[in-house]
Structure 1
Amino acid sequence: MRNANHGAYAIYALLGLVWGATYIFNKIASQWLPPMHIVLVRVVMGFLPVLLFALSLRALRWWHLRHLHHFAVMSLLAATLYYYAFAAGVERLPSSVAGMLSGSIPLFSFLGAALFLRGEPIRPRSVLGLACGFAGVMVIARPWSADIAAPDTAGMLFILAGSASVGLSFVYARRFLSPLGIAPIALCTYQLGLASALLLALCDIRQVSAIFADWRAASGLFLGAGLFGTGIAYTCYYYLVERLGAIRAASVTYIPPVVALVIGATFAGESLAAIDIVAAAIILLGVFVMQSSGTAPLRRWRQPRPGRGPEDSAPA
């Protein structure tokens, strides 16, 4: 069992690294493709391994189709809008800054749960953590400064909008999907499948060929951000939920902002001010304070339907 846990923690570290690297892959791809086509490639490439994994587990059921409207909402919140906002934000910002701002996702989850979920206790320590996290966001934005080196406002708003979208998707999943007893890998399959169908209908797929002018950009988007950063990453996440539990697995979301910061500053040569590093630390401190207050909004995901066995769940 100890060796199994060692393997799980190795996958935990790998998952944090892969998710953190997706920002630089998106940044490189943005030189060749507009945000919508970046999202198209990422979602479709992510959908394929998730579908195969779900089929291997026999997690898909015909009765799930009666909840198609919920899957459609999740496909928008946790895939199409989320990835589009991040792609548009990374196009305008250094990948390191975008990665640091993504640390606000748990803050939006908590805020959404406090507003829309009944029975969620609001403790002073939770409010302190929330305020601390958003203070870190404001330090990165520096709205009081006229410095030309300050981050692009539109780019920051895109990243924050994407963080809010995926953060609220967790709240939506808990309120409407958790009581259904549907396996999380099935939920992820449906949302990525619907998002793929929508994007294929909206985008001219022929324009994707432009990225093949640079093999590094193409491999980074198709393999790094798509296959590994979306599809295989989700399958690893569900493995971690099974091995380590939902709470420990969810803590992996603290790693990508740090990884994005290191990759952007070290390997991509992105300039980074000391105040940005302080701001990232403030955001992560706020998330830690909020989570350690005992009010993590998605700590318990599912109340199974009568007659169905309990299953651990996770963000889809």
Structure 2
Amino acid sequence: MSDLVLAIDVGGTKIAAGVVDGDGSLLRSAIRPTPADDAEHAWAQVRSAVDEVLAGTPSVRGVGIGCAGPIDTARGTVSPINIGGWRHFPLRARVADLVPGVPVQLAGDGVCTALGEHWRGAGQSSRYLLGMVVSTGVGGGLVLDGRAYGGRTGNAGHIGHLVVEPDGEPCTCGGRGCVETVASGPRMVRWARERGWQAPAGADAAVLADAARSGDAVAAAAFERGGHAVGLMIAAVAAVCDLDLVVVGGGVAQAGPLLFDPVRRALDVHAGLSYLADLRVVPAELGGEAGLIGAAALLRP
């Protein structure tokens, strides 16, 4: 029997498909942009990426799908916030039609990111970890006692929507003051611009980080504020789930100490429970491959 797995990772900005072997190595992959509007256009991008990576692949033993949420693992449907055309979209059934006769597993993209880092990345030494991405949004997933934890509906781990500012800015989820409104790249850039940071049109978190390293006080304050919010969130999740490790990836995390230093300072203040004394926060290792490798891990025994 083939040990190859078809992995699919559907996010708000890109759709990826790949073939992963039994050791967790990504053998080939294809990426498409994520359309935000039409349901069938988005599905066509998934199908195109799948067709590309399966061309020349003799067979796969199963399919793992990670998708931005909310999702419904019982029904196999997805309703990603950033893909307006997909509401209760039957993604699992659609994919099963493409690859008949093999099991198809669906999980949140944050869970898959955590699983990928747990299997092949920075989380291999941990059995209780939060894997998270700080990028255009803030997302995450939990691995508890060595296994993915999706909760009742598959949506456990939506850490980007923990409230850190009760009277804060409105969030795309419908709430206010979520960590995503403070620490995501676009929100950090907007906050800095509103306070006088001068930057070219289209500037992103990488440009903001360069400005902070060059001594721009407003840019540095944006990272301090965002890192503090992430630290508050980590302290809360770690206390509830008894974690020993947090793995942080994504574009904003590429700023390194600009983000991680205020995270750790916040933890020094707010993660005071004795069982959190050994909690570690480390950079992710797999980059953009984590979601695909983690989606394949859904098929592991």
Decide: shared fold, TM above 0.5. no
* More helix per residue: 1
Of Structure 1 and Structure 2, the greater strand share is in 2
Give the alignment's TM-score, normalised by structure 2: 0.25
Structure possessing the higher relative contact order (Cα contacts under 8 Å, 6 or more residues apart): 1
**Structure 1 length-normalised TM:** 0.24
